[in-house]
Chains A and B, each alone.
Chain A
Amino acid sequence: MQNTEIPKEKTYRPIPEAGLLGRVITRVGDVFAIAIVLSAMALIYEVAMRYGFNAPTKWAHETVIFLTAITFVYGGLLGAATDKHIRVVLIYDTLSPRLRRVFNVVISMACALASALFSWAGWLVVKRAIWTPAGDFRLETSGSAWDPPTPGLLKLFLLFVLILLCLQFAILAINYAKRK
């Protein structure tokens, strides 16, 4: 009879190869964990105001979409720092430690290169979201009655995370290569 218990407290930890950046990413993760709790509270508030007082808010849904969006994006970065992204390790697990190291280095380099290209493209996207064609600064807004600049902010945030993702994978590649 197998008896598998999930360890109760499994908060994420950066893998050693993620370096200082990985530790910072994990630490800052708490901000986004709190964002999830805040979005739950905002939704409950919206339901209470609408159902209870017939006064739906202008801001709850758009705030929640923004909070969950940045959480999703950041979660991907966190997955890189903690090496928690789902991988098919069918073949990988049968490799010798030497070959495994080579795989780790090459995979991290490929991911770093891809993220670098995405960052460059992200910059092109962001340019159109934060400046008017005339060159005036304006964050793209949602266009709703509340009209928050969340699309512009989210595009900026995405660019920022893509750059960090590139750095994180580069650091992983270097550290995998260095470590015997």
Chain B
Amino acid sequence: QDYALRFQSSDPAGNPNFELQQAWAERVATLTGGRVTVEMLPVGSIVQHTETQDAVATGIIDGHVTDTSYFTGKDAAFGLIANPVGAYGSPAEMLNFIEYGGGKELMNELLNPYGLQFIGATTPGLEAFISKVPLNGVADLKGLKMRAPEGLVQNVFLAAGAAPVNLPGSEVFTSLDKGVIDAADYTVFSTNHQQGMHDVANHPVYPGFHSMPLVEVSINKGTWDSMPADVQSILEISVRDFARDMTSQLAMRDAVSVAAAIANPDITVHNWSAEERAKFRTIAKSQWVAVAEKSDNAKRVYEVLTAYLTEQGLLAE
């Protein structure tokens, strides 16, 4: 055995995302004939989720599977590439950008100086929106007290007239339950449903309109450079397959949960019209420009991303 690697995830142990990540780790061992083993560690077990980039770079852990937007504080470019709110309508549009639209090269341009190598990306998919009040369009966001995580998502909701409240994930449930906030950006529909979010906020919006996080699989650059070419290729291809695995399985879980939610008379699932989604997207785009101003790297992300979106006809002027 040549490489015994430790990766830290940004998901907790019982979460479906984590189980999929563990399955990926096991496949890596099989595919490399045991030359590489990956131990997947749950969120917070070694360092806090916001500190994994430093930990990978300094070799405390070997890699991470995490939402890139946690490193927005290091460079606004991470925030923009991780969650260009409103850019994508489906996971495929994002994964194509990463694989074929210059995203992968861009990620390495950003990460290599920090001492990390980007292997590939996945995503849990379009996040659903949790709400206690019926939301049918942008107008309903006006004055809505809602929890949004750090990063671009918060700016976009602010621009859309909502009143974002800073809350850690651990306070979302109780705050929704008691009505401190009316809505929240949390995670995908099936996990929201499983965690009982829809019991306290029974007007979810699905499919979500606001957020699809880029989950990066990255490794210490020194370790990567020491790997033979075949192992590098196997890792890259395994992550490409992992993305398909995760997006497909989570979409299937979502479908089951949505059916259950629709069948539940206490829960009303709302779906925004194409028109309302477009309105939100326009607001979101105005915020991309603002973020692009924050650093040279962010500007670069903005240029590469808009070039891809324009070329693919995804950016209606």
Contact = CB atoms under 8 A, between A and B. Distances in A.
Contact of A54 (B114, B145, B180): B145
Interface stretch (A71-79, A80-88, A108-116, A125-133): A125-133
Contacts of A134: 113
Interface size class of B (residues with CB under 8 A): 20 to 34
A156 to B, nearest CB: 14
B75 interface: yes
Interface string A98-138: 00000000000000000000000000110010001110000
Interface string A127-170: 01000111000001111110100011000000000000000000
Given A142-B150, A145-B155, A56 B114 contact: no
Contacts of A141: 72-73
Interface string A40-78: 000000000010001110101110000000000000000
Given A142-B73, A145-B155, A61 B145 contact: no
B73 A124 contact: no
Nearest to A62: B166
A133 B154 contact: no
Contact of A140 (B74, B148, B151): B74
A61 B168 CA distance: 10
Interface of chain A: mostly helix, strand, loop or mixed: loop
B163 A50 contact: yes
Nearest to A145: B154
A142 B72 CA distance: 7
B164 A56 contact: yes
Interface in B162-177: 163-167
Contacts of A151: 50, 73
A54 B113 contact: no
Interface in B111-127: 113-115
Contact of B75 (A61, A125, A132, A144): A132
Given A55-B163, A124-B58, A125-B54, A133 B73 contact: no
Interface in B61-106: 69-75, 79
A143 B163 contact: no
B158 A54 contact: no
A54 B145 CA distance: 7
A128 to B, nearest CB: 5
B57 interface: yes
A143 B167 contact: no
Contacts of B114: 133
Nearest to A143: B72
B158 A140 contact: no
Contact of B73 (A56, A60, A61, A140): A140
Contacts of A124: 58
19 contacts: A50-B145, A50-B165, A50-B180, A56-B145, A56-B164, A58-B158, A58-B164, A61-B165, A61-B167, A128-B57, A134-B113, A142-B73, A142-B150, A143-B79, A143-B150, A145-B155, A145-B158, A151-B50, A151-B73
B196 interface: no
B116 to A, nearest CB: 10
Contact of A56 (B57, B79, B155, B163): B163
Contacts of B222: none
A152 B57 CA distance: 18
Contact of A144 (B58, B113, B150, B163): B150
Given A142-B150, A144-B154, A145-B154, A61 B74 contact: no
Nearest to A151: B73
A134 B73 CA distance: 16
Contacts of A60: 166
Nearest to B151: A143
B143 interface: yes
A145 B164 contact: yes
B289 to A, nearest CB: 15
B149 to A, nearest CB: 8
Contacts of B75: 132
Nearest to A133: B113
A61 B181 CA distance: 14
Contacts of B164: 56, 58, 145
B185 to A, nearest CB: 13
In this complex, the member of A50, A133, A143 whose beta carbon has the largest number of chain B beta carbons within 10 angstroms is A143
